[in-house]
């Protein structure tokens, strides 16, 4: 092969400034997102859309968070277990709000299932479309061969989150054990990309062992209070001692219903859990969530919606990883 000679007079390579990507979003003016508010929106409107001020830092952060929440699921199916050792901390509400946020931002299917051994309340967080429960789905499991069959057992929120409720009779739901959970999880895996499990408050009930064994990540919910924080820390200790160190390191801790003024040192709490887990998210107190009824993202305060977006983004950062079951 003949040698290539570069003339001595050849100019040195030029260093061009970074160029704007030639994508539709950048080239087509009608594709650029209208500023969400403030003076940027006012300038955009007054100029008839001809002047597009640069995005604010807040808008850039929001775009980044949405991108994290929309991360494709590398393994095809991802399981999130939402748990707490203490009741009344907003675990079920967190399950519904996280699920709604993810479902509203993604194009794939997201489902939340109620694995409480006692009477679970996840079914109350969405308008009921069916009397079917996780128990009736188990009974019909051999006949579920397509998505439409599974959809008949769920209720769907306006944000497209599907919910598989538990039985209202505590005596019946107590029979839900580890093998039942594995069966349900196997069915869910066929038709949904993300499954969020609302766990019971106990660590030793039948379904919990299988839930932790199959989970890709956990969300640990606690109130900003001494007993709640102690229970959350004890949960992490128990998980580490029982071979679930992987879940602890990758965990997200939710400090729930944070009041503007508190005698509890919230910064200290956040530092404690940040040192032990992957992320900590503060969710402020919100009157809509205190109602205990259906979770409607549009009725949340902007700061609360922002907090759940951060939670969804934190969860989404693990979607691109392949499952690692080692501790």
Task: Name the residue with higher pLDDT: 52 or 223.
Answer: 223
Closest alpha carbon to 146 in 205, 185, 191: 191
pLDDT digits (tens, 9 = 90+) for 248-279: 999 999 999 999 988 999 999 999 999 999 99
pLDDT digits (tens, 9 = 90+) for 79-136: 999 999 888 899 999 999 999 999 999 999 999 999 987 778 999 999 999 999 999 9
pLDDT at 169 over 70: no
Alpha-carbon distance of 298 to 101, in angstroms, equals 11
Alpha-carbon distance of 312 to 237, in angstroms, equals 25
pLDDT at res. 21: 64
Alpha-carbon distance of 191 to 136, in angstroms, equals 18
pLDDT at res. 50: 75
> What is this structure's pTM?
0.85
Copy the structure tokens of residue 215.
């989970």
Q: Residues 65-77: what's their mean pLDDT? A: 97
Task: Name the residue with higher pLDDT: 249 or 36.
Answer: 249
On whether the CB atoms of residues 101 and 308 are closer than 8 A, the answer is yes
Task: Name the residue with higher pLDDT: 212 or 58.
Answer: 212
Sign of the torsion angle spanned by Cα atoms 48, 52, 56, 60: positive
HSE-CB at 87 with a 13 A cutoff on CA atoms is 9
pLDDT at 40 over 60: yes
- Between vectors from CA 80 to CA 78 and to CA 86, what angle results, nearest 5°? 170
Query: 26-35, 41-50, 163-172, 217-226: which has the minimum mean pLDDT?
Result: 26-35
Label the pairing between strands 78-83 and 155-156.
unpaired
pLDDT digits (tens, 9 = 90+) for 178-189: 999 999 999 999
End-to-end CA distance of the chain: 55
pLDDT at 68 over 60: yes
On whether the CB atoms of residues 173 and 116 are closer than 8 A, the answer is yes
Phi, psi for residue 196 in degrees, rounded to 5: -110, 120
Using DSSP's 3-state secondary structure scheme, residue 293 falls into coil
Looking at the chain, which residues constitute the CATH 3.40.50.300 domain(s)? Answer: 65-316
Alpha-carbon distance of 2 to 268, in angstroms, equals 69
pLDDT digits (tens, 9 = 90+) for 287-323: 999 999 999 999 999 999 999 999 999 999 999 988 7
pLDDT band for position 54 (cuts 50, 70, 90):
confident
Alpha-carbon distance of 267 to 245, in angstroms, equals 24
Copy the structure tokens of residue 230.
């102690």
CATH class of 65-316: alpha beta
Count other Cβ atoms within 10 Å, centred on residue 170. 13
Alpha-carbon distance of 252 to 315, in angstroms, equals 8
pLDDT at res. 5: 54
Q: Residues 224-244: what's their mean pLDDT? A: 95
């Amino acid at each position: 092969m003949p040698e290539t000679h570069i003339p001595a007079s050849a100019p040195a390579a030029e260093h061009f400034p970074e160029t704007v990507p030639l994508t539709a979003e950048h080239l087509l003016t009608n594709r650029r997102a209208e500023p969400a508010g403030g003076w940027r929106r006012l300038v955009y409107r007054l100029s008839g859309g001809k002047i597009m001020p640069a995005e604010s830092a807040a808008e850039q952060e929001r775009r980044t968070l949405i991108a994290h929440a929309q991360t494709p699921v590398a393994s095809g199916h991802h399981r999130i277990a939402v748990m707490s050792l203490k009741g009344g901390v907003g675990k079920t509400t967190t399950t519904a709000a996280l699920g709604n946020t993810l479902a509203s931002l993604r194009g794939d299917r997201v489902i939340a299932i109620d694995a409480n051994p006692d009477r679970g309340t996840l079914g109350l967080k969405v308008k009921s479309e069916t009397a079917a429960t996780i128990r009736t789905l188990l009974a019909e499991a051999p006949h579920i061969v397509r998505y439409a069959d599974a959809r008949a057992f769920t209720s769907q929120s306006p944000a497209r989150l599907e919910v598989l409720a538990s039985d209202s009779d505590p005596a019946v739901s107590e029979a839900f054990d580890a093998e039942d959970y594995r069966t349900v999880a196997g069915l869910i895996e066929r038709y949904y990309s993300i499954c969020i499990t609302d766990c019971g408050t106990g660590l030793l009930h039948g379904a919990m062992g299988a839930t932790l064994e199959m989970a890709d990540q956990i969300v640990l919910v606690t109130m900003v209070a001494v007993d709640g924080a102690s229970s959350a820390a004890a949960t992490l200790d128990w998980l580490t001692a029982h071979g679930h160190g992987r879940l602890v390191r990758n965990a997200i801790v939710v400090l729930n219903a944070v009041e503007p003024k508190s005698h509890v040192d919230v910064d200290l709490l956040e530092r404690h859990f940040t040192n032990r887990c992957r992320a900590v998210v503060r969710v402020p107190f919100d009157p809509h969530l205190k109602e205990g009824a259906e979770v409607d993202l549009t009725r949340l305060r902007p700061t609360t919606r922002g907090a759940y977006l951060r939670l969804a983004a934190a969860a989404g950062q693990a979607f691109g990883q392949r499952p690692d079951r080692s501790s």
